[in-house]
């Protein structure tokens, strides 16, 4: 998907505009993983064109001076985005900081759209003329808080999207990536895995700038592509210093993957940061495997693995479906089991259940645990059908969709999981009113 990045100095309204553009799409996703709160990266759609949008203002640069921070944010936008939206405020005249951002943006060959925010009513439109002086063409008057002018701005943005590129790989090829916080051993795992496997094409200069793809075939002939973003970190200053920026690259890898390996570090244990990116993979509906690396560093007794698993299940409650593999990039312990697990999870992602069989399971579930009632009315389930794979998605036709609460939906999910093998994949249940 094309990427739009929002840049600009603080307080011009970047995150308001980000939220406007992303709109309800965020709030409909239940925030089980806690990733939606301070989101800086999200899916958007305009006139049927899908894109990703980044609020660079939310990228944590550390304690750099103010000007340095906005420069680095602009730098990231120029690296990552297909279209850059530069936001200024019509409530003030052009500031030095605006001019500094503009000067940075002159260097990019990418399309830059200049938006003047806080133009809350038509009388204020004359205030935008000052902004021609930034030398970035015609300013778009917008109001983030009132939702004005965003349509024209987005029309222009999607008009600059690059031609759509075909997916590079066959459907039969399983694409996976390794994500995790710095130093959990992603790069070491990448090298160790590739050391074990028969690489057919290495270091394909992929269509993306921020990952290295390597194709290999496992012993049983299954083809895989490993999408590696870990090794890219050492490229430049920004890549080292900006923690959230590496999250961005992980997110784009997640998007291209069928299966995501969430790498944890056995030596340090689970950290808050581990939960964040795993949450994105879950919300994106990808297959997920939890890989506990550096297993060699622990003094083990017969309860070590069990204790670690309990920790994981508690910290990642929403990932109860994800298999856990304990490995060591250093000693290569159990690395050879990974292709099999990845393949199984990929199969779960692609599993289709026949409606007749599915409905038997649902009706048994309802018989076992009656549907909820509200004000004397009972939720009635008429029929269920699988409407999608990757992730498997089920529509349940009911009398009152709002009555299919989270807890009952979770119960149905568990029954479906008991009946079929959905190892490592989220599944989605959507209630629809029967017409």
Which residues lie near ligand GDP (CB under 6 A)?
180, 182-188, 230, 293-294, 296-297, 328-330
Q: Report the nearest approach of ligand GDP to the CB of residue 178 (Å).
A: 8
Q: Report the nearest approach of ligand GDP to the CB of residue 382 (Å).
A: 49
Asked whether 390 and 426 are in contact (CB, 8 A), the reply is no
Nearest one of 103, 59, 54 to 82, comparing CA atoms: 54
Closer Cβ to ligand GDP, 113 or 247, answer by number: 247
Nearest one of 75, 82, 80, 128 to 105, comparing CA atoms: 75
Q: Report the nearest approach of ligand GDP to the CB of residue 338 (Å).
A: 13
Closer Cβ to ligand GDP, 190 or 362, answer by number: 190
Q: Report the nearest approach of ligand GDP to the CB of residue 326 (Å).
A: 10
Q: Report the nearest approach of ligand GDP to the CB of residue 402 (Å).
A: 43
Q: Report the nearest approach of ligand GDP to the CB of residue 365 (Å).
A: 41
Per-residue b or e along 159-168, where b marks 16 or more CB atoms closer than 10 Å to that residue's CB: eebeeeeeee
Closer Cβ to ligand GDP, 5 or 230, answer by number: 230
Q: Report the nearest approach of ligand GDP to the CB of residue 38 (Å).
A: 23
Q: Report the nearest approach of ligand GDP to the CB of residue 90 (Å).
A: 43
Closer Cβ to ligand GDP, 71 or 186, answer by number: 186
Q: Report the nearest approach of ligand GDP to the CB of residue 209 (Å).
A: 19
Give the neighbor-by-neighbor strand order of the sheet with 393-398. Answer: 381-388, 393-398, 428-433
Closer Cβ to ligand GDP, 243 or 296, answer by number: 296
For 309-367, give the DSSP string.
Answer: HHHHHHHTGGGTT--EEE--TTT-TTGGGHHHHHHHHHHHHT----HHHHHHHHHHHHH
CA 32 to chain centre: 14
Closer Cβ to ligand GDP, 238 or 361, answer by number: 238
Q: Report the nearest approach of ligand GDP to the CB of residue 407 (Å).
A: 37
Q: Residues near 407 by Cβ (< 8 Å), separated by ≥ 6?
A: none
Cα atoms found within 13 Å of the Cα of residue 27, Cβ hemisphere only: 5
Closer Cβ to ligand GDP, 183 or 414, answer by number: 183
Q: Report the nearest approach of ligand GDP to the CB of residue 268 (Å).
A: 10
Closer Cβ to ligand GDP, 69 or 328, answer by number: 328
Closer Cβ to ligand GDP, 271 or 428, answer by number: 271
3-class SS at 381? strand
Rounded CA-CA distance 41/280 in Å is: 10
Rounded CA-CA distance 2/190 in Å is: 27
Rounded CA-CA distance 117/17 in Å is: 9
- E strands, 19-111, are 41-46, 49-55, 83-89
3-class SS at 62? coil
Phi first, then psi: what are they for 286, rounded to 5°? -85, 160
Instruction: Tell me the residue nearest to ligand GDP as measured from the CB.
Output: 185
Rounded CA-CA distance 189/395 in Å is: 39
Closer Cβ to ligand GDP, 183 or 433, answer by number: 183
3-class SS at 133? helix
Asked whether 256 and 167 are in contact (CB, 8 A), the reply is no
Closer Cβ to ligand GDP, 152 or 196, answer by number: 196
Q: Please, where are the H alpha helices in 56-108? A: 66-80, 96-106
Sign of CA dihedral 238, 242, 248, 253: positive
């Amino acid at each position: 998907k094309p990427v739009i990045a929002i840049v600009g100095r603080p307080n011009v309204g970047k995150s308001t505009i980000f939220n406007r553009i992303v709109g309800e799409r965020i709030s409909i996703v239940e925030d089980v993983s806690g990733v939606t709160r301070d989101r800086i990266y999200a899916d958007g759609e305009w006139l049927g064109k899908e894109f990703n949008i980044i609020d660079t203002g939310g990228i944590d640069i550390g304690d750099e001076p103010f000007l340095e921070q906005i420069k680095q944010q602009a730098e990231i936008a120029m690296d990552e985005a297909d279209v850059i939206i530069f936001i200024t405020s019509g409530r003030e005249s052009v500031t030095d900081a605006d001019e500094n951002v503009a000067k940075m943006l002159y260097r990019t060959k990418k399309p830059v759209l200049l938006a003047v925010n806080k133009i809350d009513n038509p009388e204020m439109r004359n205030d935008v003329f000052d902004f021609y002086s930034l030398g970035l063409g015609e300013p778009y008057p917008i109001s983030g808080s009132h939702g004005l002018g965003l349509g024209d701005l987005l029309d222009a943005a999607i008009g600059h999207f690059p031609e759509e590129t075909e997916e590079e790989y066959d459907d039969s090829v399983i694409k996976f990536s390794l994500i995790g916080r710095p130093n959990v051993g992603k790069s070491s795992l990448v090298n160790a895995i590739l050391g074990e496997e028969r690489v057919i094409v290495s270091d394909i200069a992929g269509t993306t700038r921020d990952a290295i793809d390597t194709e290999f075939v496992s012993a049983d002939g299954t083809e895989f592509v490993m999408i590696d973003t870990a090794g890219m970190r050492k490229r430049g200053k920004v890549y080292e210093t900006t923690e959230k920026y590496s999250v961005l690259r992980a997110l784009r890898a997640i998007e291209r993957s069928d299966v995501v390996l969430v790498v944890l570090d056995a030596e340090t244990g689970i950290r808050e940061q581990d939960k964040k990116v795993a949450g994105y993979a879950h919300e994106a509906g990808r297959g997920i495997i939890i890989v506990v690396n550096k297993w060699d560093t622990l003094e083990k007794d017969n309860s070590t693995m069990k204790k670690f698993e309990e920790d994981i299940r508690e910290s990642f409650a929403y990932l109860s479906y994800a298999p856990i593999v304990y490995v060591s990039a250093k000693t290569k312990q159990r690395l050879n089991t990974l292709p099999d697990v990845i393949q199984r999870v990929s199969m779960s992602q692609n599993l289709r259940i026949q409606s007749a069989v599915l409905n038997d399971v649902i009706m048994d579930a309802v018989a076992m645990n009656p549907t909820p009632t509200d004000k004397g009315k009972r939720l009635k389930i008429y029929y269920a059908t699988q409407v999608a794979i990757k992730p498997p998605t089920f529509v349940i036709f009911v009398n009152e969709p709002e009555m299919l609460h989270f807890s009952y939906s979770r119960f149905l999910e568990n029954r479906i999981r008991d009946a079929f093998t959905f190892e490592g994949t989220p599944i989605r249940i959507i209630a629809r009113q029967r017409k």
